[in-house]
Amino acid sequence: MSKSKFSPLDADLEKRVSDWLENYVNAPHPDLGRDGPICPFIEPALRADSLFTVSRDWEGAYTLEAMVTAIEEAQDHFRSIDWPSRNTTLHGLVVVFGNLPRAGWWLIDEGHRAAKDAAVARGLMLGQFHPECEAPAARNPLFPVNRSPYPMIAIRNMAFHDILFLHDNPDWFEQYRKRYDRYYSATARIDPRFTALFEEAVAASRAGQAAHQETAEHRG
């Protein structure tokens, strides 16, 4: 059996990452654009002992292909974990590339972008983090929310609130819709913003399908 490329964090790295998760990600921020912690997932995941942090050493050239492969391997590792909690929405994996130098941080952003289609198709969500990350908060595009002490990729299962991140891409939205469409036709109370984004995405999907059909008819 081949040796895993993922290992526990050393004591110093684990402390810095834990401090960041608990004191930044699990805390409110005035620029976030809403009340509550930056990520409301963190506290219940920690309480359920279902937020795992691992290290992956970078080896070889700094190429996008290598980063995409690393992210795909991390997704496979995520799927292989024997989670303490049966609540799949609390399962989270943070992969820290502790030895990736500043010159390679761009790989975190570009790797995230390149790997996201395949990850969403698997029902997974990716997050990219590094000290100079420019990824904005969902409710405040001026706030670079994904700043972290080390370059990292986070992986979790798709959740209901991910309409915030998936509504504006037709392929991503279809994956979301497969899982959560029924909730929008029920009587459950839903955040009005989620409903608006869902309805906009449905309308855009129908318009795209109609345009595709019209083009096909003209060609026929």
The pLDDT value given to residue 216? 55
- Residue 1's pLDDT band (cuts 50, 70, 90): very low
Paired strand residues for 96: 55, 152
> Do 94 and 46 meet the contact criterion of CB atoms below 8 Å apart?
no
**Cα separation, 124 vs 38, whole angstroms:** 20
**Cα separation, 123 vs 165, whole angstroms:** 13
179-210 pLDDT, tens digit each:
999 999 876 689 899 999 999 999 998 987 76
The pLDDT value given to residue 97? 97
The pLDDT value given to residue 186? 72
Answer yes or no: is pLDDT of 45 > 70. Answer: yes
* pTM of the predicted protein model: 0.90
Answer yes or no: is pLDDT of 119 > 90. Answer: yes
